[in-house]
Amino acid sequence: MTGWQWSAPITWADMGYLAPEATLAAFMLALVLLDLLMPRKYNRSLIGWIALGGVLVSMGLVIWRMLEMNPVWSASEDAVRAGAAVSLLGDSYRIDDFASLMKTVFLAATGLILLMSVGTVKERDVPTRGEFYYLLLPATIGAMTMASAGDLITLYIGLELLSITTYVLVGLRKRSSKSFEAAFKYIVTGGISSAFILFGMSYLYGLTGSTGLNEIGMALPQLVTDYQALVYAAFFFMIAGFGIKIAAAPFHAWAPDVYQGAPTPVTAYLAVVSKTAALAIVMRVFYNTVYFAESGAAPVNKDVFTALLAVAATAMIVGSAAALRQRNAKRLLALSGVANAGYLLVPIGLSLSGAHSNNFGEFFFYAAAYLFMNIGMFAVLSAVSDSTGNTEISRFAGLYHRAPWTAAASVVLLLSLAGLPVTGGFFGKLFILMGAAAERQYWLAAIMAVTSIVTYYFYFGIIRQMFMRTASDEPLRMPATVSLTLWICAVATVLLGLFPNPVMQWIDRIFSLPGDLIIR
């Protein structure tokens, strides 16, 4: 990115495009002041409700902007031309449908996590509950910045804002040795990840003299022949760095310990928002740079996308196999997340061809399904762990007798995680598998099918505990906010399973590859 582009002033009209991020920042600052001025004897749940309100306002602004940019869905005469992206600071920050759709995922997940947490985060677990609530807002701003990044510097700023905030969130349980261990491991692995990503970026900047994704993409074809080894090194270092961020095998070793040690709502945030934000930026960066890195006998693009598919396959195999031996629910969901990172990498690694050009629809659909089924299960886990004192799978024993409706909703979510009809997880995996088959990547489709079958063992193990094991007959105390979160997730999962085609058609209608992902 050249100097004059960064020095271009931002107008008030430009600030209007940044309203969702600015709203979260304003709410965060207001909540910091409120937390400082509020007497300690007062319940901090009020801060959680206000933070949830800020997330809902921000989501409303994102949706309003998305409708305005797609006149087919808007009656406004001043609507921006369909597919047109808004570029700020010389394409370093973009407002397009790719970014808006991903921001809805981040904000929906953050809103559900806040709803699940309000009134349920205990003082003995998280002494600074006010900080817990409002620190989720800057983390989400970081994720939103990553989705809109059109420049490596903007990308890294968003990545570090998300990372540093989550470092603090993971270590909030000051009296827990496991939380301390989780925070230490997360900081170390996060630093290694950032180092790999920066090292890869430095090669790209050194070769092209630019940090803008569009300029890097245009310069790479001429550089591939002369500097092939350096181009390979740049992208393989970035794959390793982002592989750590999304907890994809073989870069996943930190995830089980961190997920187990962090507060349950924070674990849900890492599993959904942090993972999908990193995946979104992988798609944005690689499709604007690697996709064009081909020159004669140096098909760097094919090799890099093949490497992504290899990581995806490894994540599916290792995540599913390692989860078979787990007896702790948090660690099991961490390894389930490793396998799901592999599923989500498949449509990215398949790239684009005449036979397969709707991979973003597949990616977004499964990301939405993953959001609901994971946060729903973490909501159940938070209630069970609060009642029994730990997060072992055995603590689900007799849940059907203690809370039959909670058990029924949990079964829906577990069936979706396993990829069984009629759920959002089933169609999400089916769309990705069909995309792999369309690209004649039959080996990858076979791995997806086999690993999905393997997951039946540990997901049905939880169901077996709920229905076929006995425990205390004391009714499970389910806070209203946790119950509401659970049922929102269960209903959304079923709706995605009942109406998958309308959702995919809606995505295809508003998403334009040249206008919303490729920066030119």
Q: How does 110-141 read in b/e, with b if 16+ C-beta sit within 10 Å?
A: bbbbbbbbbbbbeeebbeebbbbbbbbbbbbb
Strand partners, 87: 94
How many CA atoms lie less than 13 Å away from 365 in the CB half-sphere? 32
User: With contact defined as beta carbons under 8 Å apart, do 148 and 94 qualify?
Assistant: yes
Instruction: Tell me the longest C-alpha to C-alpha distance in the chain.
Output: 71
CA proximity to 339, closest of 449, 504, 490: 449
Per-residue pLDDT in tens (0 to 9) along the chain, 520 residues: 444 444 456 666 677 889 999 999 999 999 999 988 887 766 678 888 999 999 999 999 999 988 888 765 444 444 444 447 888 877 889 998 999 999 999 999 999 999 998 867 665 556 556 788 889 999 999 999 999 998 999 999 999 999 999 999 998 877 778 888 999 999 999 999 999 999 999 999 999 998 889 899 888 888 888 888 899 999 999 999 999 999 998 999 999 999 999 989 999 999 999 999 999 999 999 998 888 777 666 678 888 999 999 999 999 999 999 999 899 999 999 999 999 999 999 999 987 654 456 788 999 999 999 999 999 999 999 888 887 778 889 888 888 888 899 999 999 999 999 999 889 999 999 999 999 998 888 999 999 999 999 999 999 999 999 988 776 667 788 888 999 999 999 999 999 999 999 999 888 888 877 778 877 7
- Phi, psi of 90, rounded to the nearest 5 degrees: 60, 45
CA proximity to 296, closest of 224, 233, 215: 224
In the chain, count H helices and then E strands.
23, 2
Domains in the chain: boundaries: 15-516
User: With contact defined as beta carbons under 8 Å apart, do 162 and 143 qualify?
Assistant: yes
Residue 19, amino acid = A
DSSP-derived letter for residue 42 is S
Torsion of CA 408, 413, 415, 417, to 10 degrees: -160
- Phi, psi of 414, rounded to the nearest 5 degrees: -70, -35
User: With contact defined as beta carbons under 8 Å apart, do 65 and 107 qualify?
Assistant: no
DSSP-derived letter for residue 297 is T
Q: How does 156-183 read in b/e, with b if 16+ C-beta sit within 10 Å?
A: bbbbebbbbbbbbbbbbbeebeebeebb
The CA distance from 335 to 362, in Å, is 22
105's CB contacts (< 8 A; 6+ apart) are 276, 364, 367, 368, 371
